[in-house]
Amino acid sequence: MKAERSNEPFIWSLFSAGGMVAAMLIPVLLLLFGVAIPLGWVEAPEYQRLLALFRNPIIRLGLFVICSLPLFHWAHRFRFTLYDGLQIKHLNELIFTFCYGGAIAGTLIAAYLLLTL
Amino acid sequence: MGVYTEYHPKWYRRHVSTWWWMGKWNYLKFIVRELTSLAVAWTVLLMLMLLNSLREGEGSYRDFLEVMRSPGLIALNLLALLLTLFHSITWFNLAPKALAVRVGGRRVPALMIALPHFLAWIVVSAVMAWLILRR
């Protein structure tokens, strides 16, 4: 029997990198845009200024990383949540496609939005 | 030839309930940590919506801010924020287990690896908040 090359190490490295990006940056973004600005704790940034900030090449690249890698982190973790938590291993392929397909779709949308910003 | 245990599909196996993780705090913690990924994906979705509104123009951006002010979304975001914080804390606490750094043949203590991660988290968050909020 020939040993099949597994793509798990590659997927795991995306999971790991995404987990680190998510741990460092996701809470502050959610705190600002989801809680602090809506509740009026801080003033919302002006449209022109935020647009200018997000058009900065370094920030733009950073935003792309923030909007893609954490999705692969989600895909990996959520896949195993569904496998183990709900014990629906028989749906493996469907779950795999849904999770990584979602992450790839999100990455493409992020790239499109940032390139046309 | 090796000796194999043959496959016996009819052997008795204990049935594990779908709710197996409800019994113990450690199991529950494991499931909550797994679920933090949903909050992470949700935040990315919000960011994509923000980017899209910025792309479309000032009116669209105002609409985005207005939608985010709805009480249901704020409640949902508060819950998601707790989950993402749980992810960050458990992630940085695990870092010493993934990074086994040795200096002079001795393993660097876990705290010495976890602590810089927590400090970096604070600095990165502060810089990000400053960039977004400065006038």
Among the ranges given (A14-18, A33-37, B103-107), the one the predictor scored with the smallest mean pLDDT:
B103-107
Inter-chain residue contact B91 with A19, CB threshold 8 Å? yes
Q: Of B48, B51, B88, which has the smallest distance from its Cβ to A27's Cβ?
A: B88
The model's pLDDT over A26-72, given as tens digits with 9 standing for 90+, comes to 999 999 999 999 999 999 999 999 999 999 999 999 999 999 999 99
- The model's confidence at residue B100, banded by pLDDT at 50, 70 and 90, is confident
The model's pLDDT over B66-81, given as tens digits with 9 standing for 90+, comes to 999 999 999 999 999 9
- The complex scores an ipTM of 0.91
Interface probe, candidates B43, B56, B86, B87, chain A, greatest A C-beta count within 10 A:
B43
In the numeric block, the tokens 């909050």 are attached to B39
Q: How far is A5 from chain B (nearest CA, A)?
A: 24
Interface of A with B in 3-42 (CB under 8 A): 16, 19-20, 22-35, 37-39, 42
| pTM listed for this prediction | 0.87
On whether the CB atoms of residues A88 and A24 are closer than 8 A, the answer is: no
pLDDT at residue A1, as a whole number: 45
Buried-state track B57-75, b at ≥16 Cβ within 10 A, e below 16: eeeebeebbeebeeeebee
Instruction: Measure the CA angle with vertex A79, ends A73 and A80; round to 5°.
Output: 100
Q: Of A24, A27, A47, which has the smallest distance from its Cβ to B61's Cβ?
A: A47
